[in-house]
């Protein structure tokens, strides 16, 4: 295998976990911290341990604070973007705007924007629109993969998406291992919107965890039937949203897998649990120290697009009861009151 030089910008847990397959394949890896990652980079330099991923990083990684970005990107064959969705503008301004056009980019940032017309666009599309016609290869990773398990080399299956299948095949050859399995797709919006939508719906599914605890007490046996019902309704609504966004609806497979992973832990599960217990959204956010959650942002943006389409007569509120209830909780402080009856349907095959 040809050894590549991979520059990773952003020392968060997911981008840092990608250093494991990259180093396992013998590539030179340069991990560059954002201005928010100074402590992470300092600690990795000191003892090789990542303080948020809570793993010892592979040997041979070169660590840079962002002041050293110019040196870190020199001669690189691939740039991996590892900022959170709240760093999109920073990444566009400080990284994409200054790198050469022939350096392919692979982003791990999950998220999307709603448009005034009621559309949904993913971050690679947003970058393309902001880069003024520059001919850059902007690719992204989507799928059910937690950083901790990837760093532990557990089997993980993801999609790389981008405009050029040839480029995607090259990126796959650089990063695939016997535990990191990569499928490819040129439906960039489909993959990226699917894995962004799961953030909003993971919040919806985990309401059932809090509802069970409200009934039986914290630490009680989980009630899986309500979670499964909410999971199923989430898939139904996500599939329709993908079609409305102009995506192939079979991307729901990727979104479903990512939804499954997300409901088992993290801040989104914590928030959904608090809300299900009967705590108001405002109080729950206070208990979470006011942290801005991607699930909340995605839910707001998706509901905004949907409500625009409803006003235009291009969508029916009856098809999206769960998303609209989540939006009511977040936007209006409504108490959790799952609209179970509205999930019922009739199907006839003639």
pLDDT for 56-90, tens place per residue?
999 999 999 999 999 999 999 999 999 988 999 99
Reply yes or no on whether the pLDDT at 266 is more than 60. Answer: yes
Q: What is the pLDDT of residue 55?
A: 97
Give the tens place of pLDDT for each residue, 30-41: 999 999 999 999
Residue 17, in any domain of the structure: yes
Instruction: Determine, yes or no, domain membership for 290.
Output: yes
Q: Are residues 17 and 95 in the same domain?
A: yes
Domain boundary residue among 129, 153, 186? 186
pLDDT at 15: 97
Instruction: Check: CB of residue 199 under 8 Å from CB of residue 294.
Output: yes
Q: What is the pLDDT of residue 2?
A: 64
Residue 344, in any domain of the structure? no
Q: What is the CATH classification number for the domain harbouring 99?
A: 3.40.50.720
Cβ–Cβ < 8 Å for 193, 212 = no
Residue 175: name the closest of 156, 190, 152 by CA.
156
Percent of the chain with pLDDT over 90: 91
Are both 157 and 290 inside the same structural domain? Answer: no
Alpha helices per DSSP H over the chain:
13-17, 19-24, 38-47, 69-73, 88-91, 123-130, 147-151, 165-175, 188-216, 224-244, 252-262, 266-276, 281-287, 294-311, 321-332
| Distance, CA of 319 to CA of 304 (rounded, Å) | 15
pLDDT in tens, 185-194: 999 999 999 9
**Would you tell me the crossing angle of helices 188-216 and 294-311 to the nearest 10 degrees?**
110
Mean pLDDT rounded to a whole number for the chain: 95
User: What's this model's pTM, rounded to 2 decimal places?
Assistant: 0.93
Give the integer Cα–Cα distance in Å for 134 and 118: 26
CATH of the domain at 211: 1.10.1040.10
């Amino acid at each position: 295998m040809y050894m590549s030089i991979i520059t990773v910008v952003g020392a968060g847990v997911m981008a840092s976990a990608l250093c494991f397959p990259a180093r396992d394949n013998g590539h030179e890896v340069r991990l560059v911290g954002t201005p928010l990652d100074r402590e992470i980079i300092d600690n990795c330099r000191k003892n090789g341990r990542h303080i948020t991923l809570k793993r010892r990083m592979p040997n041979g990684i070169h660590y840079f604070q962002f002041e050293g970005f110019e040196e870190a990107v020199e001669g690189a064959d691939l740039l991996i973007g590892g900022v959170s969705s709240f760093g999109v503008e920073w990444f566009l301004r400080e990284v994409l705007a200054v790198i050469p056009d022939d350096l392919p980019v692979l982003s791990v940032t999950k998220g999307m924007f709603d448009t005034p017309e009621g559309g949904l666009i993913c971050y690679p599309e947003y970058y393309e629109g902001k880069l003024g016609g520059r001919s850059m290869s902007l690719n992204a990773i989507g799928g059910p993969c937690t950083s901790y398990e990837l760093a532990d080399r557990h089997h993980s299956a993801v999609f790389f998406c981008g405009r050029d299948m040839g480029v995607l095949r090259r990126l796959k050859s650089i990063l695939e291992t016997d535990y990191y399995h990569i499928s490819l797709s040129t439906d960039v919006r489909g993959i990226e919107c699917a894995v962004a939508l799961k953030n909003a719906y993971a919040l919806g599914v985990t309401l059932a965890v809090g509802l069970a605890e409200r009934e039986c007490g914290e630490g009680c046996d989980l009630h899986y039937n309500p979670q499964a019902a909410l999971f199923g309704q989430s898939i139904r609504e996500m599939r329709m949203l993908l079609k409305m966004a102009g995506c192939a609806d079979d991307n729901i497979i990727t979104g479903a897998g990512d939804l499954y992973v997300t409901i088992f832990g993290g801040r989104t599960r914590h928030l959904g649990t608090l809300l299900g217990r009967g705590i108001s959204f405002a109080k729950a956010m206070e208990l979470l120290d006011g942290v801005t959650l991607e699930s909340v942002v995605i839910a707001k943006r998706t509901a905004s697009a949907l409500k625009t389409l409803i006003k235009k007569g291009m969508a029916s509120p009856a098809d999206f009861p769960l998303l609209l209830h989540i939006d009511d909780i977040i936007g209006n402080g409504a108490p959790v009151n799952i609209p179970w009856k509205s999930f019922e349907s009739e199907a006839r095959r003639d």
